[in-house]
Amino acid sequence: MTASDKAFTGSIPQIYDQLLVPMIFAPYAQDLADRVARFTPQHVLETAAGTGAGTRAFHAKLPPQVRITATDLNEPMLMQAKTHLAGADRISFQQSDALALPFADASFDVVACQFGVMFFPDRVKGYAEARRLLRPGGRFVFNVWDRIEDNEFAHVVHETLQQVFPDNPPQFFTRTPHGYFDPVKIRADLSEAGFSDIIIETLPHRSRAASAQEPAIAFCQGTPMRGEIEARGTPDLATVTQAAANALQRRFGDGPVVGQIRALVISAR
């Protein structure tokens, strides 16, 4: 991982929220909320909350007395999340590093993380921090993307970028969001951090967009991939985005497009 992999700045939070959340994050946020609800928590901590896809699902699913604390390293992402949940008194937002959280030991019943652990520079440390914050018997519930070949829109965009920049292809997708999908590694990291009763499931969904242009914009301009593209100078961001849209259109056709997405969902005690 590089420092730029965590650069959710400028217009990225808005594009991410408007396009990527409904396209790929929403169904998994609902799934995560359903799983968290089964543990009947009183206080849930969400790390790497991003623009609040998970936070919104927790708010909709959990009983009104359950408190939710949503944290993220990136203040611009949290600011975008707050736009959806203004006036939700039981939710508190706090800019925090998931590897060094400012809360007392054993403060939460559940720690949840929606597609965030891939961005942890030290996952065992991040897991140990989640364990520190859990009450006895508490659960850590999170998801990660499966390999990029099983996530079709992202894979087409990634392959397009390899062709556009053959001498120095951007690797953000395979390095970070789709770089941590080995169940053996995930289980070992959780065990090292002190977790047990580890359950790992594979969960496929279908991703939908109004046109090929939407996933092209979402992945090229609404993720830290944008910084990698812009750093290369030529061709510019608009040209690269259009190349991705053309490739997606060739693969999935004109009009509305549908592609496979797949993730792993993990629970540990």
pLDDT tens digits for 35-80?
999 999 999 999 999 999 999 999 999 999 999 999 999 999 999 9
Cis-peptide, bond into residue 22, ω within 30° of zero: no
Q: For residue 266, give both structure tokens.
A: 């993990």
pTM (predicted TM-score): 0.95
pLDDT tens digits for 127-174?
999 999 999 999 999 999 999 999 999 999 999 999 999 999 999 999
C-beta separation of 144 from 264 below 8 A: yes
**CATH code of 84's domain:** 3.40.50.150
Stated as kind and residue range, the H or E segment containing 95 is strand 91-95
Q: For residue 129, give both structure tokens.
A: 């921090």
Q: What share of the chain is helix, strand, coil (3-state, %, to 5)?
A: 45, 20, 30
pLDDT tens digits for 171-200?
999 999 999 999 999 999 999 999 999 999
What are the DSSP calls for 96-128, one per residue?
-BTTB--S-TT-EEEEEEES-GGG-SSHHHHHH
- Domains: count for the chain: 1
Mean pLDDT of the chain: 96
Domain hosting residue 119, numbered range = 3-268
Percent of the chain past pLDDT 70, that is, above it, reads: 97
CA distance 12 to 98: 21
Q: Helix axis angle, 213-221 relative to 152-164, nearest 10°? A: 70
